[in-house]
Structure 1
Amino acid sequence: MKPLAGPVLITAAALVALTGCGAGDSSSSDSADSSAKLSVKAAYMPQPVTDSMAAGFLVIENDGGTADELTSVTSDLAQDVTVHETTGQSMQEVAGLKVPADGELVLESGGNHLMFENLKRKPKEGETVSLRLNFTKSEAITVEMPVKSATYQPTSGH
């Protein structure tokens, strides 16, 4: 038994020393405070004009010090919900959109947006559509998106 006492004590001393370093390291406690802190505002869907597709708009705010990325969206309204990036006059489906640290990702008419494809039903003005936003780092966020008139234009937030 005595031959193990030396290595065990050295290992225990090393663990105590490492634990002490971690506890006093300000970067480890700051990292929890600087994580992405996401919230959603100004969500809406214009009443779709077709039976098969709809668009969705919202703002994802990040009050944290770490950037994140919107990677996918699901909804019981549609078979597929895709994320689209608009550049100039063209839009294309993308795998994700960045949510900057201490910033926001704006999904708006004429810009980046969500496309609800292969609708299971056509929602009407006054209804609410449930969707789930999935991110690289943060937990998913469930959003209740109100359906507005087809000509609705937000006055703020977009």
Structure 2
Amino acid sequence: MRRRLALAAVTAAGALALAGCGGSGSGGSGSGSDTAELSVDSAYMPQPVSDLAAGFLVISNKGGADDRLTSVGSDIAERVTVHETVDGSMREVDGLDIPARGSLVLESGGSHLMFEQLKRKPKQGQKVSVELRFAHSDPVTVEIPVKSATHTPKHGH
């Protein structure tokens, strides 16, 4: 029994040492426990009714390091900003944290993306390309589907 435990410990230590020998760890592509591993899902944009639009999505981090959404870009708007809602009041922020082994939920009534000064108004059924930029990970490009202006996700964010 002791021999099996010792062998398991040596194997685990070797695997950890090898995991640490990876590249510089850009965050988005590493699988080690010291990097963020980001993925995006549940993205949508309600069809805009003015020169403003909102964007909602979930950024999951399966990695062992925190990261931060720092900025967003899209060719559809002059500016895309990150907002949080606190006590019913919306305000622009310079970024939002994505905890290790956790997620950042951007949802109606909470933190979200604001597309300002739209260059065109996308219609329901179209997709909007958005680049999410992070403090540590490589940028992630997401194709956000445009839903009806009154869309409510079936599985809440």
TM-score above 0.5: yes
Structure-1 separation of matches of 2:87 and 2:37 = 30
Structure with the higher fraction of residues in helix conformation: 1
Structure-2 separation of matches of 1:28 and 1:91 = 42
Task: In structure 1, give the amino acid aligned to 2:95.
Answer: G
Residue 40 of structure 2 is matched in structure 1 by: 40
Structure-2 separation of matches of 1:152 and 1:24 = 46
Residue 5 of structure 1 is matched in structure 2 by: none
Task: In structure 1, give the amino acid aligned to 2:98.
Answer: V
Residue 4 of structure 1 is matched in structure 2 by: none
Residue 108 of structure 1 is matched in structure 2 by: 107
Identity within the alignment, %: 60
The alpha-carbon distance between structure 1 residues 26 and 124, as it changes in their structure 2 partners (threshold 3 A), is same
Conserved in 2, the CA contact under 8 Å of 1:59 and 1:157?
no
- Structure 1 runs of 4+ aligned residues shifted over 3 Å read 23-28
The alpha-carbon distance between structure 1 residues 24 and 103, as it changes in their structure 2 partners (threshold 3 A), is closer
Conserved in 2, the CA contact under 8 Å of 1:45 and 1:148?
yes
CA offset digits 1:80-138 (Å, max 9, x no partner): 00000111110100000000000000000000000000000011100000000000000
Task: In structure 1, give the amino acid aligned to 2:42.
Answer: A
Q: CA deviation at 1:25?
A: 8.2
Residue 8 of structure 2 is matched in structure 1 by: none
Task: In structure 2, give the amino acid aligned to 1:42.
Answer: S
Structure-2 separation of matches of 1:24 and 1:56 = 40
Instruction: State the superposition RMSD in angstroms.
Output: 2.1
Larger Rg: 1
Q: 5 Å matches for 1:34-73?
A: 34=33, 35-50=35-50, 52-73=51-72
Question: Which 5+ residue runs of structure 1 have no aligned equivalent?
Answer: 1-22
CA offset digits 1:38-64 (Å, max 9, x no partner): 0000000000111x1000000000000
Question: Which 5+ residue runs of structure 2 have no aligned equivalent?
Answer: 1-13
Conserved in 2, the CA contact under 8 Å of 1:78 and 1:120?
yes
The alignment's TM-score, normalised by the length of structure 2, stands at: 0.81
The alignment's TM-score, normalised by the length of structure 1, stands at: 0.80
